[in-house]
Amino acid sequence: MQTIDEALQKLKRSKFRSRFHLSEKDIEYVKNKGQETIRRHAEDFVNQRLAPSDIPNDGKQTPMKGHPVFIAQHACACCCRGCLKKWYHVEENIELTETQQTKIVNLLMAWINSEII
């Protein structure tokens, strides 16, 4: 199992994943809302859009813009179950456990924090 730092380093080496960055507007949003609120948003998005065993629009459920967490999901390959399987070997068509969801949220928050520094 890889650490958050190892995952972030691996993602930085990906031409596709490394092109995602928060805009100034996104950074201001994070600063204005605060870490706790952004974490709650991430928890909600992961729970509703990634955790279910059956996602009818899998591969298209995460917008490419509109919220800092959406950008983080694409940057971290946590945008759909296909990416989770490819990058983290998380099986598709099974419900994500609370532990898996927490690990995803922790990775997303670490990426967001690396963008606002």
* pLDDT tens track for 54-77: 998 888 989 999 999 999 999 999
Q: pLDDT (tens digit, 9 = 90+) per residue, 17-67?
A: 999 999 999 999 999 999 999 999 999 999 999 999 999 888 898 999 999
Cα gap 41→67, rounded to integer Å: 9
Structure tokens, 54: 């059956």
Angle at 111 between CA 110 and CA 113, to 5 degrees: 65
Q: Is the pLDDT of residue 1 over 80?
A: no
Residue 108: give the domain boundaries: 4-116
Whole-number pLDDT of residue 76: 98
Please state, in angstroms and as integers, the Cα–Cα distance from residue 46 to each residue in 30, 79, 96, 117, following that order.
Answer: 18, 9, 9, 24
Q: Are 90 and 82 in contact (CB under 8 A)?
A: no
Q: How many domains does the chain have?
A: 1
User: Which amino acid belongs to residue 33?
Assistant: K
Picking from 20, 15, 9, the residue whose alpha carbon sits closest to that of residue 115 is: 20
Which pTM value belongs to this model? 0.95
